[in-house]
Every structure is written in C-alpha cells, then in structure tokens.
Structure 1
C-alpha cells in the first residue's frame, strides 16, 4: 500500500485520535492539529517524523490558512484533508448565550468552511486529493436541545454538498461522514451545556440535557471500526458522497428521510399549482 499523507484537525481525542493512531501504525504520515501540543507527545515519541503537529484553534481563520499553507509547504503533497475538529452545544435555543452561539458557529461551521477553502488551492495545484468532512447523525436529523449544534452540522453538509460538485473537475473527491453515538470521550468532554431555564423543564429539550448529564450511558458505536472505515473510504472511486456509521445512525436518518419524503410527496399537487400554466 502506497504511503499517504493526511491533514487532520483535532487529533487529541475522539475520531481524530483514532484515525491518527491507525494511520501512523500502518506507516502513513499525519499532519495533525491540536489546541494543546502536549497531548500528543506520546504519539510524537513513538512515530517521530511520521507525525507533524501544529497548534490550531479553528475559530482563528488567519491561523487556519497559515497552518494549512505551512503543512503543504513542508510536507509537499497532502493526499487527504480531514475536517474533524468540533464540539457539541446542548440547550434550548432560548437558553443559549450570544457568545455560545457565536463560538459554536465559528468552530463547527466557519472553521470547517475555512479549512476546506484553505486546502483547495493546494489540492487543485497538485492535481487532486480527498476531503473528508466529519458531520454526525445530527446533520440529517434534529432533536430538541440541539438547535445550534444541528444548525452547524446541517450547514456544513450543505456547504460540502455544493463544494463536492464544484471541485469534481479537479479530481478532488469529497465525503461527508455521519457517525452515530460512539464510545469516545465526546459526550463527557466535548459537549457544552447551556445554563438551565426552569421554564424548559417541561420541554423535550430537557431530555437532551439529561442524556449528557448521565455519566453511566454507553454508546453503541466502536470508534476504532468507524475510523477504519473513514480511512478505507479513500480507496473508493468515486469518493462516497456520504457514509453513515452505526445502527443508531442508520435508523434515525432512515426515519428522518422517509418522513421528509412522505411530507414532500403529500404536497406534490400544491407545489405544482403555483406554476404558470404551460403555454400552447
């Protein structure tokens, strides 16, 4: 298997860490970004020059361009760019502060958009490559208590769908990955809770808070298996448009899409009724 070079944001934990460990173990090079350089000292010590690490906060757009440009300049060709960094924000829309809203959007949506934009000139210049965008089951279905998180994930999926079409002539493949629940530390370390408003105790939004606060809950998904599928997807041609991972993800997305299709089909006559009459 030919050695590839990967650029992955957020390799300190979760899927980013799993992907990085598997890639380094098989001999690929990884350019990884973290907010705290010390957290990957063990990987740097074990794999040496195979791991290139840079500090990056994806809410800092100029820094994204600086780090991406430096990675391509120093490593040459980068075959795969993985947009992984992000976090969850849970709370009813009214419970969120303006600062929380801005930071969630800047991290999950704007940061991912700018990472792709920063990478595209390099991928075009080298004649192609792959982009993998981490989304979630929450990029196709929505639950009370996750309004801003869903806004960022539905937003990035729309962006990526359009970009996928725009860059196809340049031999750049683009894939959206939609994992369900996985046994990473995401739920307990990468989810932020809004301040509770008593009025919402009777709202379905309160259930999302309870799920996050339940420290005994165990997700069904195996993150190592999921990471391996993401890695293997780069060998598929053309690049898969979407990859759903986890039985919970499949069931939830299937139900959401089926319901939306039924609602659309019920409005077929209404939709057509707004057209101008056909001439002739």
Structure 2
C-alpha cells in the first residue's frame, strides 16, 4: 500500500478522529488541525512523526493560510485535503443571534472555502491531489430548526461542486461526503442552540430543539465504518462526486430528490413558455 499524506481539519473528535486513527494505524501521515493541542497527546506519543498537528480556528483566515502553507512546506507534499471541521447551529431563524449566524457561516462555509483556496496552489504545483468535503444529509435536504446549518452545508456543496470542475484539468479531484446520523459528539456535545422564543413552541422548528435538549434520539451510523469508506474512496478513479453514508441519509435524500424532480417536470411547459421567440 502506498503511503499517503493527509491534511484534515478538526481531528480531535468525530470523523476527523476516526480517520486520523485509521490512517496512522496503516502507516499514512496525517497533518491535522485542532483547537486544543493537548487532546492529541495520546496519538502523538504513539505515532510520533507520522502525526503533524497545528492549532487552528477556522474563523481566522490568515491563520488558515499560514497553517496550510506550513503543512505543505514541512511535509513536502499532501495527497488528500479533508475539510472536516464544523459544528451544528439549531433553532428557528428568528431565534438566532447575529453572532451565531456569523460564526456558523465563518466556520462551516468560509472556513472550508479558505482551506481549499489555500491548498489549491500547492496541489496544482505538485500535479495531483484529492479534496474531500464533509457535508451532511442536510446538504441536500432541509429540516425546520436548522436554517443556518443548512445554509452553510448547501453553500459548501455548491462551492465544492463548482471547484471540482475548475480543478479537474490539474489532476485534482473533489468528493462531497453526505453522512446521516452517526455516534459522534456532533449532535449532543458540539452543536449549539439559539436562544428560545416561546412562540416557536408551536412551530416545527421546536422539534430540533427538543431533540438536542432531550439528548435521547439514537444515531444509526457507525462513524468508524463511515471513516473507512471515506478513506477508501481515495483509491477510486475517477473520484466519486458524492458519497452518501447511512441508511437514513440515503432514504431522506432519495425522497427529497424524487419529489424535487417531480416538481421540476411538472413545470416544464411553464419554464419553456418564458423563452424569447427570437431565441427558440
């Protein structure tokens, strides 16, 4: 097996931690970012130089560029860049504070955009690379109570899909990963709730709040299995544009896309009727 070098944001927990552990066990090198360096002491002690760690807050664009540049310069090359770090923000749109809105978009959307932008000059120069963008079932389907989280994920999917065509001539591929629920810290430890407005107890948005407050809803997905599939996808050529993980993600996305296509087809005559006669 060829040794690869990976750059992964947010390796302290969740998919980032699972991927890092699996990659190091098989002998790959990982350059990972965290907000608290101490949480990686165990893996650093075990794997030594195979693990390169940097402290990074994705809301700090100059720091993103510095960390990415340092990783490439220190390690010589990086084969795979994984935009993994992010968190959930839940509550009705009216309940969200301005600060929460800005931080969600700066982390989940702008942070991933800037990591990709910082990595692309290096990937072009070395003549190859793979970018993996972690999204979610919520990047294809929207639920009440998650408006800003969905905005960040629908936004990053549009960005990633456009970039995959822009960089294909440089032998750089992009894959979007859309997991369903998984047994990680994301839902009950990493997610943030908006301040409560009592009127929204009558809204479907309140269901998202109840799920987080009760912390009892089960998660179907096995994050270790999901991480393994993400890793294995790098061996696929051509790279998959999207990977859906979890039976809940598959069923929900399939239903949404089927309904969306049916609605589009129902509007075909209407759409065509707006063309200018001079152009038909």
Please report the TM-score for the alignment, with normalisation by the length of structure 2.
Answer: 0.99
Which residue does 2:100 correspond to in 1?
100
Is residue 85 of structure 2 the alignment partner of residue 90 of structure 1?
A: no
For residues 258 and 41 of structure 1, what CA distance do their matches in structure 2 show? Answer: 47
Q: Which residue of 2 aligns with 1:200?
A: 200
Distance (Å, rounded) in 2 between the aligned partners of 1:171 and 1:266: 39
Q: Identify the residue that residue 145 of structure 2 maps to in structure 1.
A: 145
Count how many residue pairs are aligned between Structure 1 and Structure 2: 280
Cα deviations across residues 142-177 of structure 1 (Å, max 9, x unaligned)?
Answer: 000000000000000000000000000000010000
Partner of 2:112: 112
1:51–1:268 Cα change, 3 Å: same
Q: Distance in 1 between matches of 2:171 and 2:272?
A: 38
Per-residue deviation, 1:185: 1.2
Aligned to 1:61: 61
User: What SS does the corresponding residue of 1:93 show, helix, strand or coil?
Assistant: coil
Task: Report the 3-state secondary structure (helix = DSSP H, G, I; strand = E; otherwise coil) of the residue aligned with 1:132.
Answer: strand
* Residue number in structure 2 paired with 1:260: 260
CA shift, 1:105, in A, is 0.3
Post-superposition shift, 1:278? 5.3
* CA deviation after TM superposition for structure 1 residue 57, in Å: 0.2
Q: How far apart in 2 are the matches of 1:279 and 1:234?
A: 44
**Paired residue secondary structure (2:117):** helix
Separation in 2 of the partners of 1:22 and 1:94?
A: 41
What TM-score results when the alignment is normalised by the length of structure 1? 0.99
Q: Secondary structure at the match of 2:232?
A: helix
What is the CA–CA distance in structure 2 between the aligned matches of 1:233 and 1:99, rounded to whole Å? Answer: 37
Deviations 1:22-74 (A, max 9, x none): 00000000000000000010000011110000000010000000000000000
Structure 1 gap ranges (5+): none
SS at match of 1:59: coil
Quote the residue 1:165 is aligned against.
165
- The CA distance in 1 between the partners of 2:166 and 2:44, in whole Å, is 36
CA distance in 1, matches of 2:116, 2:248: 29
Asked if 1:230 corresponds to 2:207, the answer is no
Indicate the SS of the match to 2:150. helix
Report how far residue 215 of structure 1 moved: 2.1
1:77-126 CA deviation, whole Å, 9 max, x = no partner?
10000000100000000000000000000000000000000000000000
- Aligned in 2, Cα 1:279/1:249: closer, same or farther, shift over 3 Å? closer
RMSD across aligned positions (CA): 0.9
SS in 2 for 1:8: strand
2:54 is the counterpart of 1:74: no
